[in-house]
Amino acid sequence: MAHGPGLRSRSSRWLVSAAAVPVVLTSLPLVYLAIRISQAGASSIVDELFRSRTLFLLLNTVTLAVSVTLGATVIGTAVAWCVERTDLPGRRAWRAFAGLPLAVPAFVSSYAWSSIDRGFQSMPGAIMILTLSSYPLVYLPVAAALRHTDASFEDVSRSLGHGPWHTFIYAVRPQIQPALGSGAVLVLGHMLAEFGALAMLRVQTFTTAIFESYELQFDSTSAALQSTVLMALCLPAAWGEMRLRTNRRVARIGRGNRRRATPITLGWAKPLVVAGFVIIALIGLGAPLSTLVYWLSKGHSAGLDYADVLPAIQGSLSLSFIGAVLTSVCAIPLVLLAVRHRSHLSILADRLPYIIHGLPGVVVALALVFLAIRIAPALYQTTFVLLCAYVILFLPLAQSSLRASVELASPQMEDIARSLGRRPVQAFISVTLPNIAPGIGAAMALMMLEIIRELTATLMLAPTDVITLATEVWTHTADVEYAAAAPFAALLVLLSLIPVYIFTQRLWRYGEEK
């Protein structure tokens, strides 16, 4: 075993070579923005940044992102607290039900509400719809954190005469802060990158403006400069998410010393809390789903032709599967380097995708279109370019899913295989790959779910003969063909509903066992 480090050092060469592919891919949006800014010239940059439309887009983007993040944080935390720490009737059912709005993509909810009344096509309507679509991103991690907090801290606070608000702020909040912060940052990043829902709700932000600039004037300087401003807004969210991923340690007296909290009696407030849960469920989930059922019945009675449904399903499933495989393959060397061969360069390579993850799909797609036309025109509007966009957009999700499995896989076993004459790649395939297979499976399942729902990059980069469920919802909704869009939207919800439901059920069972 004395030769283990040396073997590991030599075997890291293939990892470096393999990691170069995702590093180059994730750097492309930055290269594109740098090129476009350098070509624009100082006067054009100043004119674009300080014109009234840019300031209007900035105000709209910040207003929407901050409002939805605050609303989702308040609702998600309140729902988690009531479900996990009170005597709320039907707690078991609400645990699962509270996370189900996550199964309805935001642009599907927006399509449903827009078809109910055009009055929802406004900033207040967008804030309401997106808040109710996003609060599960806060609820799920906070609920999990509340199940694992130590109630003795709360006992000490109450024994000192402090009330429930003081106890929550100073005894409970510090324990759930990492989960609360990560959920809020995730919502913020989603809102800065959101396109489909806002386009359907007629609310203009940087993402919708960039897409319009691309559509009206291909690869315009205006779109590139707007992308730069949006990236500047996204970077703090990406940095915050990255920091929270690496700082999730909360002190406890000892491993076996956690005491579960006694449910708080709601008393006279119980009917009000139950009514609040019912209202959130009806607005966040009931209204979109009932609207989908209505338009499905309308389409059936009108005898609409559903000939595109099967091609859309095939397009969604094939793109999501291939994209998930490629993204997993790209993530493996990055995670292996970061875990087993830590250095400044490996850490930078590991974190670069998280920084780019803050960019919306429209910016990534614009960069790939620009570079493909100028460097490899034959690749323009091919499936290969679209798959590259999926890798760039979803690589951090694969890295997060793989990291735990890679950390548990001992590098010494690979060293033994190398000492027996196997080449580095052979040793990895025969020894390490089987051990990290569960992480790869989890990563692929998560990415397939995300890619099936992806809209912006698919709209801009998919070949003309390729359609997906998401793009068909967009196409029909843009033409105000709500009944025609319904089957595609319903299938998207069904494909998303099953994994979200299973996840929340497993989360509840895990909490009960602890």
Note whether 427 and 461 are within 8 A (CB).
Answer: no
> 144-178: per-residue pLDDT in tens?
778 777 666 666 666 666 666 666 776 677 777 77
Q: Which residues contact 430 (CB under 8 A, 6 or more apart)?
A: 417, 422
What mean pLDDT do residues 171-192 have? 80
Residue 10, pLDDT > 60, answer no
- Of the candidates 37, 23, 17, 36, which has an alpha carbon nearest to the alpha carbon of residue 371? 36
Residue 125, pLDDT > 90, answer yes
Three-class secondary structure of residue 222 per DSSP = helix
**Per mean pLDDT, which range of 66-70, 98-102, 115-119, 429-433 is the poorest?**
429-433
- Domain 51-204+271-304+490-514, what fold? MetI-like fold (1.10.3720)
**Per mean pLDDT, which range of 86-100, 290-304, 327-341, 487-501 is the poorest?**
290-304
Q: CA-to-CA distance for 315 and 317, rounded, in angstroms?
A: 6
> 90-123: per-residue pLDDT in tens?
888 888 788 888 888 899 999 999 988 888 999 9
Other beta carbons less than 10 A from residue 495's beta carbon: 20
Other beta carbons less than 10 A from residue 249's beta carbon: 7
Residue 254, pLDDT > 60, answer no
pLDDT interval class at 193 (50, 70, 90): confident
Average pLDDT, rounded, for the chain? 80
What pLDDT, on the 0 to 100 scale, is given for residue 333? 86
What pLDDT, on the 0 to 100 scale, is given for residue 218? 56
Three-class secondary structure of residue 441 per DSSP = helix
More confident residue, 453 or 166: 453
- As a whole number of Å, the CA-based R_g of the chain is 24
More confident residue, 233 or 73: 73
What pLDDT, on the 0 to 100 scale, is given for residue 211? 83
User: Residue 94: phi, psi to the nearest 5?
Assistant: -70, -30
What mean pLDDT do residues 387-406 have? 84
What pLDDT, on the 0 to 100 scale, is given for residue 204? 92
> 28-41: per-residue pLDDT in tens?
988 888 887 887 77
What pLDDT, on the 0 to 100 scale, is given for residue 255? 46
- Look at the alpha carbons of 373, 374, 378, 382 in this order and tell me if their dihedral is positive or negative: negative
The length of the chain, given as a count of residues: 514
The residues facing 421 across adjacent strands are none
**Per mean pLDDT, which range of 131-140, 146-155, 505-514 is the poorest?**
505-514
What pLDDT, on the 0 to 100 scale, is given for residue 507? 53
What mean pLDDT do residues 181-207 have? 88
Give the pair of three-digit tokens for residue 60: 């709209």
Residue 207, pLDDT > 80, answer yes
Q: CA-to-CA distance for 420 and 418, rounded, in angstroms?
A: 5
Model-level pTM? 0.81
Q: CA-to-CA distance for 402 and 409, rounded, in angstroms?
A: 11
pLDDT interval class at 401 (50, 70, 90): confident
More confident residue, 320 or 444: 320
- List, as one string, the DSSP characters of 3-57: THHHHHHHHHHHHHHHHHHHHHHHHHHHHHHHHHHHHH-HHHHHHHHTSHHHHHH
How many Cα atoms are found within 13 Å in the side-chain-facing hemisphere of 382? 10
Burial class (CB in 10 A: 0-12, 13-18, 19+), 177: middle
Give the pair of three-digit tokens for residue 204: 């203009």
What pLDDT, on the 0 to 100 scale, is given for residue 60? 94
Give the pair of three-digit tokens for residue 296: 């499905």
- Look at the alpha carbons of 349, 355, 360, 366 in this order and tell me if their dihedral is positive or negative: negative
Mutual orientation of helices 383-408 and 437-453 as an angle, nearest 10°? 150
What mean pLDDT do residues 283-298 have? 89
How many Cα atoms are found within 13 Å in the side-chain-facing hemisphere of 35? 14
Q: Secondary structure of 131-163 in the HEC alphabet?
A: HHHHCHHHHHHHHHHHHCCCCHHHHHHHHCCCC
- List, as one string, the DSSP characters of 100-113: GGGGS-HHHHHHHH
Note whether 126 and 64 are within 8 A (CB).
Answer: yes
How many Cα atoms are found within 13 Å in the side-chain-facing hemisphere of 253? 9
More confident residue, 296 or 301: 296
What mean pLDDT do residues 397-412 have? 72
The residues facing 86 across adjacent strands are 264
Classify residue 268 by its DSSP letter: G
What pLDDT, on the 0 to 100 scale, is given for residue 1? 41
Give the pair of three-digit tokens for residue 260: 């579960």
> 348-362: per-residue pLDDT in tens?
888 888 777 767 788
What pLDDT, on the 0 to 100 scale, is given for residue 251? 46
Note whether 472 and 284 are within 8 A (CB).
Answer: no
Q: CA-to-CA distance for 96 and 256, rounded, in angstroms?
A: 28
Give the pair of three-digit tokens for residue 30: 């930055």
What pLDDT, on the 0 to 100 scale, is given for residue 337? 83
- Of the candidates 231, 226, 225, 229, which has an alpha carbon nearest to the alpha carbon of residue 39? 225
> 212-245: per-residue pLDDT in tens?
877 765 556 777 788 888 878 877 776 766 666 5
Secondary element (H or E) of residue 397? helix 383-408
Burial class (CB in 10 A: 0-12, 13-18, 19+), 6: exposed
For the chain, the first-to-last Cα distance in angstroms comes to: 39
What pLDDT, on the 0 to 100 scale, is given for residue 323? 93
Place of tokens 């605050």: 70
More confident residue, 250 or 321: 321
- Look at the alpha carbons of 122, 358, 226, 62 in this order and tell me if their dihedral is positive or negative: positive
